[in-house]
Structure formats: C-alpha cells, structure tokens
Structure 1
Amino acid sequence: MLDVLTLGNAIVDVIAHTDDDFLVAEKLHKGSMNLIDEARAMDLYGRMGQATIMSGGAAANTAAGVAALGRRAGFIGKVRNDEAGALYRHDMRAVGIRFETPDATDGPATARSFILVTPDGERTMNTYLGACQNLTPADIDEDTVRSARVVYLEGYLWDPPQAKEAFRKAVAIAHAAGNKVSLTLSDSFCVDRYRDEFLELIRTGAVDILFANIHEVKALYQTADAETALAALRAEDTPHALLSVVTRSEAGSLVISRDRTRAVDAFAVDRIVDSTGAGDLFAGGFLAGLAHGLDEVGCARLGAMAAAEVISHMGARPQRNLLDMARENGILA
C-alpha cells in the first residue's frame, strides 16, 4: 500500500547560479519553464557556470517530500537505460521511493532540466524532456495505482501526448478503486498551453485536490486580479467537493473548499537560496499530512515547513530531517 503515488517527468536537474543579465542575453523569461531540444540543451549547458547535478522532476520531488515525512511514496516516470537514468533510479530508491517503471531501451536520453538561479532565489528552468516523452499507458501498473490512497499528477506531464493518455488511465483506475486524484498546475506557461483541458479535468471531477500558486490560478482564469481568480475557483461547479490549495509565496497559502477559505501563514525562513522545488515540497508536505491524519490547516502548515526547508539551500530535495523539523515545530507528534 502507498500513501501517495506520483506521476511525472523523470528529470535530472542541472542547477547553476547566474544573474539577470545572463537571462536577458539568452532571451529567457525569468521564473518560467521552457521546453528545449537537445541542441539547445547542449548549447545552454556550455554557457552555464559551475553546476550541481541531482535527480529532480516536480512529481518526483513531491514523492521525496512524502517519503521524508515518514509516509509511503511511489513514482511513475520514464528514464533511458543510460548513465543519467541509472543515477536517477538509484537516487529515488535511496530515499525510499518505490520506482519500478521500466527503462526505455531506445530513443532519446534521460531528461535534463537546466535550472538557472538568480541572486533573489528565483529559478528559470529549461527542460529537455528526452525519455520522459516515452511514458505511455502501458507504463501505468494497475495494481500500483489501485494501492495508492492519493494519485498525484503534475501538469507538465500534459505536454507529451502519450503521457497525457497515461495520465487519464491513472485517473480512471484511481477513481474506480475509490481513491483520490490530485493535480498540480505546475507553471503559468503550462496553464496557458492547456487551460481548457485543465478546466475540463476540474469540472468533470477528474481532480479531487488541486495544487497551484496564485500566478497559475490567475493564468487559469485569465485575469490579473488575484481575488477575481480565487472567486472563480471557489465558484467551480464540480461533481464532488473540490479541495484547492493555493500558495502565495511569503503570504502563505489558502485552503479553499466550496463553503470556506482558510489562510495559513508561510513558514519563516532566514534566506531564500533557491526556490526550485518549493511548490513540489509544499504538495509533498500537504499530502503527507493527510496520510498522518492532520486536518487541512495542519497539512498546509506541514507543506509550508517542507517548502521553507527546500528553499534554504540549492536543489529541490530536502537536506534536513523533515520529521524532526515537524516534531520540533509541533506539527506532528
């Protein structure tokens, strides 16, 4: 049995510090996620400064957060049978994540995301999807999906067509088993590409728990006003009670259900070093909180704590013991 099974792009992160001038020179929109081809990936890698290489991917980071908080996590994603793929698989299993998706034996290399971090901690991602695009419905193991209390899907997975079908298959299996499905919108630019499809997922009841930051919610409803966007989200007429969790950086988060909205403070952090993975770890903390039996506000507090830990250092995986942190801060017993 799993508490949370995540589906997403299996990506090796290549992270380097840079400045705003470099982003301008490379024609990169600060804070965005850009899809690039292999040639652009190699060109950008050659221009980047000294880099740190580690396993990443949004849904995989969320699974790492769940596991770090003492709950059972699994991951479905595609790597190639190459050196980067072997490193990725080792890293996932080393932190206690169940990862059994077979390697691709041909086609493009294991995916990489070239992440540029500016002095304010903002990250700009440039992702070569590579083998991620080979994830197909055949990679969705029905027994594994049925065993998970929550299946968590990343919006980035909506880019490759076959992965999209894998996504839909997992939703159908999870709901048939009486389990919950969660979606993260992932990125404002991702929302711009698939707005109508994401709204359809919400309105048809394919999603039980929605994660988004305030910028993604504004993009979803095509408004520059946060309150207008939040009101539209509250007003969604879904077949069942949709739970939405909206993060707002230092302003904390909002837990929104049909009948009420609860505000939860951000967790204090001395300095933001790298915002990569903040939303992923927030979702991991929130879902781990559900598995621990916390109420929704407690879940949001746990998510805020996990996000605060990950932005205090380079990389999108926890470096401190999150269980100890949660106990020290009175979130978990």
Structure 2
Amino acid sequence: MPAAASLPDQLDVVGLGNAIVDVVADADEAQLASLGLVKGAMTLVDAERSEFLYSHMGQGVEQSGGSCANSMAALAALGADVGYVGRVKQDQLGAIFAHDIRATGVIFPNSPAADGPATARCLIFVTPDAQRTMQTYLGACVMLDESDVDEQLVASAKVTYLEGYLWDRDGAKAACLKAARIAEANGRKLALTLSDSFCVDRWRAEFRDLVRDRVDILFANESEITSLYETDSFDEAMAAVRREVDLAVLTRGPSGSVIVAGDEAHPIEMVRPAQVLDTTGAGDLYAAGFLYGYTHDFSLAAAGRLGSACAAAVIEQYGARVHRPLRELIQSAAG
C-alpha cells in the first residue's frame, strides 16, 4: 500500500517495476564450485536457496535494483522529478531498497508489506575475471497489485513508465493497467519497455494490443521488436511499429538506435565508451536519458543522443548505476 505522505503536484516520470535488491560481492572459482553455481549464468532460485547463498556471500554492496528502478535512479541523477512504484517486504533488504532508492532522489511512497514473500534480491558473485554469476529470487516484487498504485502519484507524472516483466503476474499486470487508466484519464503519456524477447514471446498478443491501444512511447531493443512482430527483419518490424504507436525508441547495440515517430525516423549513432566493462543496465540508462530529454522539451534526436550518452557511461563501469555525474552529459547531447 502507498504510504500516507504528501506527494508532488507534478513529476516528470513515474515508473512501475520489479523492486529488487542487488547484492554484489567478490568471489573466487572455488567458492562458485563449492556453492554449485554455474559461472556467468543467471539462475532463478527459491527463498530457501537464496537465503543459503546470501549467508555464504562475502562483504559486498547492497543497493536498489531492477530494470525500472535503475532507469528511475538515473533520471533522478539527471535532475528529473521521479517517482517509483514497487513492492518490498518489511525485512532487512526491504529497508535497504527503500532507503537506497529514496537516497537517489526518487519518490518511493510504498509501505513495505507486513507479510508474504521476502524482498526480492539478485545475488551477484563477481570473480576476478569480472564475470558476474547471478542468482535471483523474485519474492515480494511479483506480488505487486492495484493497491500499490497511488492515483495521485501517477496522475502527477508527465509519463508513466511500465516494465514489461510485470506482465508475468496477474496482480502486477492489473497494477499496470490501473496506472494506464489513470494516466489516460489525466491526459498523461504511457510508456512501455518490452524488457526482453522471452517476455515478448510469453505475452506477444497482449503486448500488441497494449501498444496499439494504450501506449504512447515504446522502448525495445532489436530482438524485442522483431519478436513482437514475428519477423527476422528489423526494417519490417520498424515499419510495423510506426503504424501502431506514436513514438518508438529502438536500440540496436553497437549499431546505435532509431527513434520512429509517424513518418519521421531519427537514426542515432552509438556514443563510443572509453572502454566496455559491463553492458548491464545499458538499456535502462538509455531509457532514462531519452525520457529526461522528452520531458524537458528536447528534440527527439537530442533526447536520443542523451540516451546513447547515458548508456555509454554505464557500459564503462561495472554495475547498473553510473558513478560519474550524469548531468554533465546533458549540454553536449542537447547542443
């Protein structure tokens, strides 16, 4: 349930997503072997396995995470006014998530759940060769439902941003649809990120209906958009999406990105990072940069350039939170 607190009259963006605590710690090959972990893999685990692995992790860093939360934190770092909707449990990691995301400047009004599954966490074991072995317990985050969505918060936002992963649970899907109705009733924009191609495979028909009937801004990478329209051709997928949504932001990795709006198409070159250390969060940071530009009256091309610059900044380091000041990227992108 949303906490009883005064909310702002206007926000730039409010996001709905899976609230996950990232727990990152160094490990060696022997530890991975002793714990039975497959190096470099991402594995979903249950609560018992997660608690066991957490108890065997070394000293590390714990911070709020999840795709949408990463985007909202980056938006706040750029200087946007941002809110977030997600569910955590009233437990140690739930308190860490809430404190950390609020510390980034994001408004997070949701009170922790008193019962139900524990707070979601992604346990990340980092070996000396920089490989990340991830064990994810989804826990409380997938229990998000309509009661978590504060009408005033959503109504105040220029853009409501939905994480496609939420479609995997009926309650979370209902929360997204409630937010969509509130946004529409208040003349606000609705954005959707497709999250990953496997998510699109599971919910293709519903996503197609949502994109055609409700979504104003669609975010997708090349594999997601071609999966959505069941084609191997990016150009065919781009032609299809421009008929169904007002604005599509399509990323293509090293090939840059394309922003499609009606008859317009704005190709955006990839900003070359000084080094490529970890692509985790690149899409999340691109979305943040674009949404900052969009809500601050940049041209579509300038918003895309800021998205690309933010993505490059996160690729240059480990983890999904950029350590350098993101605001320094704004002027060059807008110019």
TM bin, normalised by shorter chain, reads 0.7 to 0.9
Distance 2:39 2:262 in 1: 38
2:277 aligns with 273
1:233 aligns with 241
Answer whether contact 1:135 1:166 (CA < 8 A) is retained. Answer: yes
Cα displacement (A) at 1:17: 7.5
**Mind listing any 5+ residue stretches in structure 1 that lack a counterpart?**
none
Q: Secondary structure at the match of 2:162?
A: strand
Quick check: 161-170 or 39-48, which moved more?
39-48
Answer whether contact 1:104 1:134 (CA < 8 A) is retained. Answer: no
**Does 2:187 align with 1:187?**
no
2:216 to 208, 218, 222: 208
Distance 2:92 2:37 in 1: 29
Distance 1:265 1:44 in 2: 41
Q: Deviations over 1:101-160 (max 9, x none)?
A: 111011111101235779998977553211112211011111111100000000111112
2:6 aligns with none
Distance 1:60 1:151 in 2: 13
1:176 aligns with 185
The change in CA–CA distance for 1:50 and 1:261 in structure 2 (over 3 A counts) is farther
| Number of corresponding residues | 322
Answer whether contact 1:213 1:247 (CA < 8 A) is retained. Answer: yes
1:325 to 322, 329, 333: 329
Distance 1:278 1:267 in 2: 12
TM-score of the two chains, using structure 2 as the length reference: 0.87
1:258 aligns with 262
Paired amino acid for 2:280: T
Paired amino acid for 1:167: C
Cα displacement (A) at 1:316: 1.0
The change in CA–CA distance for 1:279 and 1:48 in structure 2 (over 3 A counts) is farther
1:139 to 148, 170, 175: 148
**Does 2:102 align with 1:98?**
no
Distance 2:290 2:199 in 1: 22
Let me know the Cα RMSD of the aligned residues.
Answer: 2.8
Q: Superposed, which structure 2 residues align to 1:27-106 within 5 Å?
A: 35-42=44-51, 52-106=61-115
**Mind listing any 5+ residue stretches in structure 2 that lack a counterpart?**
1-9
The change in CA–CA distance for 1:155 and 1:121 in structure 2 (over 3 A counts) is farther
Distance 1:215 1:199 in 2: 15
**Does 2:219 align with 1:217?**
no
2:120 aligns with 111
The change in CA–CA distance for 1:169 and 1:202 in structure 2 (over 3 A counts) is same
